[in-house]
Amino acid sequence: MRRSSKAYGQLKITVSLTIVFHMCTLLASTSAPTPQPPTTETCTIQFETGSELTLPVARTADAMKQGLMGKDNPGPGVIFVWPEPGVRGVWMKNTPASLSAGWISAKGELQTILELEPQIMEKRSSFEPAIAIIEVPKGTFQKVGIRIGDQVAKADCLSFR
């Protein structure tokens, strides 16, 4: 009997360690998202005023979550695009650069522009339904002559109603 108890105890330890190993492997494979390659889609947004921006597009949840986080130099910026209008918000978590954000309505109007400071956790929103948000380096809208109320004349990544 003594040998059986010892063998049984060793078997319990082996089974327990095997279960723990497989659970750790499962947790490791599901807890961290697989890095996605950067978006290659770009969008040229032309306003009726003649101003134009060409930006990378973020359409997927992962691309939107990443946005411009962690980038000291945001480059030209990014446009977040949704298939349906909704109240949309942004925040500056882990974003070291100052940005300007503009919300575009389903009718193509630039309805709001907000200046965003680095690392601020407060969520900012237009409070009106939007189909896109443009994030660009702070001051870009002013520099290229884009103002609240300007109408998008053409954008290959957006569909207006």
pLDDT of 10-43, one tens digit each? 545 444 434 434 343 434 444 434 344 455 889 9
Number of Cα atoms under 13 Å in the Cβ half of residue 66: 19
Say which range, 20-24, 88-92, 108-112, 150-154, has the weakest mean pLDDT: 20-24
pLDDT at 128: 92
pLDDT at 16: 45
- Higher-confidence residue of 16 and 58: namely 58
Q: State residue 147 phi and psi, 5-degree precision.
A: -130, 160
pTM score, whole prediction: 0.73
pLDDT at 149: 97
Would you kindly state where each structural domain of the chain is located, as residue ranges? 1-32, 42-155
Q: Is 52 exposed, middle or buried (0-12, 13-18, 19+ CB in 10 A)?
A: middle
Degrees, nearest 5: CA angle 8-14-17: 140
pLDDT at 74: 78
pLDDT at 24: 39
Query: What is the rounded (10 degree) CA torsion for 146, 133, 113, 151?
Result: 40
Fold (topology level) of 42-155: Jelly Rolls (2.60.120)
Instruction: Indicate the average pLDDT of the chain.
Output: 79
Which residues lie across from 100 on neighbouring strands?
A: 115, 136
Residues in the chain: 161
Helix ranges restricted to H, 41-116: 61-66
For residue 91, pLDDT over 90 is answered with: no
Tell me how far apart the alpha carbons of residues 38 and 122 are, in angstroms, rounded to a whole number: 26
Tell me how far apart the alpha carbons of residues 56 and 75 are, in angstroms, rounded to a whole number: 10
pLDDT at 2: 54
DSSP conformational letter for 151: B
Report the 10 Å Cβ neighbour count for 153: 14
